[in-house]
Amino acid sequence: MRTLDDTMAGMRAAAEPTRLRILALCADGELTVSELVRILGQSQPRISRHLKVLTAAGLLARVPEGSWVFHRLAQDGPQTDLAARLVDLAPLDDEVLARDRQRLVQIKRERAEEAQRYFRENAGRWDKLRTLHVDDAVVEKAILDLVPDTIERHLDLGTGTGRILELLAGRTDFAQGVDLSREMLAVARANLDSAGLSHCQVRQADITQLPFPAETFDLVTLHQVLHYLADPVRAIESAVAMLRPSGMLLIVDFAPHEEEALRRDHQHRRLGFSDTQADTWLKSAGLTPRATRHLSGDPLTVTLWSAVKTPAGHTDAAQPVLAKSTAGRTLETPA
């Protein structure tokens, strides 16, 4: 809850031309100090001082990413509404703000070009992997079939290019993607910028040590992530900790297979997971399995497992649980 002191502190922090320009820019995307220096044409120490004031007032959030730090408009905390209102008051037709936006567009264009270079360098190995399983469009349709139509807060672990954030953006009020790779985060950030998805953000973090408060997301997705991990159970437990009661976890990964080349050439630690294995992990983490869908390919089968976090003190006997599944179909029966 914002107090009168919070309000006055926020208004004082924003009552300076450069700081209001910074707020307007950070409302349209995450920016580093060096990017703000380029856009605003001021020295790095001066920009850093302005950022420190805005962050201390709760109007901006700092998002560390390795040796870099991105800054964005506050999305959580008592000053969130005030920050948005201050940006709304900025005159969009002002000559200075219009020039800032033009320079921001150029920054985003350069980001996109860098991301595409990285993507092109690695596209061959990714394309080869795609030929081993069912088309991505089929997988994405299955994801859309399983997740809720409306999602307040979505967390995508191991977000990669940010594709799952894009896919579900129309159903979410706010979405956060997490990945350890700065290169992949650059790709994701460029993709989200190009799609105009300002309510979707990405940040660098270990998915087993997430920097978010517990029980703050309604949907958590793990799309083609678990097979890279030495300890998938830790990732599932971390995901479950983020879920609100009645929230959903959706895992998309491979069924058991014998493609040893994936271990050698693509750093896969696990050659797929069985339904029994996934079901056991989900139940042990405090979830109730909902549905499983198998999408057969040659030679890899993609499997989707969905489960719901049961509110403490409630039983779930009347809810449907997994009976069995067949390729491209989901079968459920009452418990």
Model pLDDT for residues 204-256, shown as the tens digit of each residue: 999 999 999 999 999 999 999 999 887 899 999 999 999 999 999 999 999 99
pLDDT for 311: 78
pLDDT for 264: 78
Question: Contact 41/4 with Cβ under 8 angstroms?
Answer: no
Q: Give the bridge partners for 73, in sequence order.
A: 60
Model pLDDT for residues 84-135, shown as the tens digit of each residue: 999 999 898 899 999 999 999 999 888 888 867 766 777 666 656 767 788 8
Q: What angle do CA 225, 278, 171 make, to 5 degrees?
A: 60
pLDDT higher than 80, residue 297? yes
The SS3 of residue 265 is helix
pLDDT higher than 50, residue 309? yes
Residue ranges covered by each domain of the chain: 4-90, 125-334
- Of the candidates 225, 172, 224, which has an alpha carbon nearest to the alpha carbon of residue 200? 172
Q: Which fold has domain 125-334?
A: Rossmann fold (3.40.50)
pLDDT higher than 60, residue 197? yes
Model pLDDT for residues 6-23, shown as the tens digit of each residue: 899 999 999 999 999 999
Model pLDDT for residues 35-88, shown as the tens digit of each residue: 999 999 999 999 999 999 999 999 999 988 667 888 999 987 889 999 999 999
Confidence of residue 284 (pLDDT cuts 50, 70, 90): very high
Q: What six digits make up the tokens of 84?
A: 């948005």
pLDDT for 71: 93
Helices 17-26 & 80-89 angle (0-180, nearest 10):
110
pLDDT for 142: 97
- For residues 266-286, give the mean pLDDT: 90
Confidence of residue 261 (pLDDT cuts 50, 70, 90): confident
Neighbour tally for 262: CB within 10 Å: 20
- Of the candidates 47, 228, 193, 44, which has an alpha carbon nearest to the alpha carbon of residue 116? 193
Cis, peptide link before residue 299, omega less than 30° from 0:
yes
Sign of CA dihedral 149, 154, 157, 161: positive
Residue predicted with more confidence, 324 or 67: 67
pLDDT for 126: 67
Q: What percent of the chain has pLDDT over 90?
A: 65
Number of H-type helices and E-type strands within the chain = 12, 12
Confidence of residue 314 (pLDDT cuts 50, 70, 90): low
pLDDT higher than 90, residue 304? yes
Strand residues in 66-148 grouped as ranges (E): 68-73
- For residues 176-202, give the mean pLDDT: 92
pLDDT for 298: 84
Taking the C-alpha atoms of residue 104 and residue 18, their distance in angstroms, rounded to an integer, is 15
Neighbour tally for 148: CB within 10 Å: 14
The CATH number assigned to the domain with range 4-90 reads: 1.10.10.10
CA 215 to chain centre: 16
Q: What is the pTM of this model?
A: 0.75
Q: What angle do CA 245, 247, 250 make, to 5 degrees?
A: 145
Model pLDDT for residues 235-248, shown as the tens digit of each residue: 999 999 999 999 99
pLDDT for 102: 94
Question: Contact 242/221 with Cβ under 8 angstroms?
Answer: no
Buried b (16+ CB within 10 A) or exposed e, 68-91: eebbbbbeeeebbebbeebbeeee
Taking the C-alpha atoms of residue 83 and residue 79, their distance in angstroms, rounded to an integer, is 6
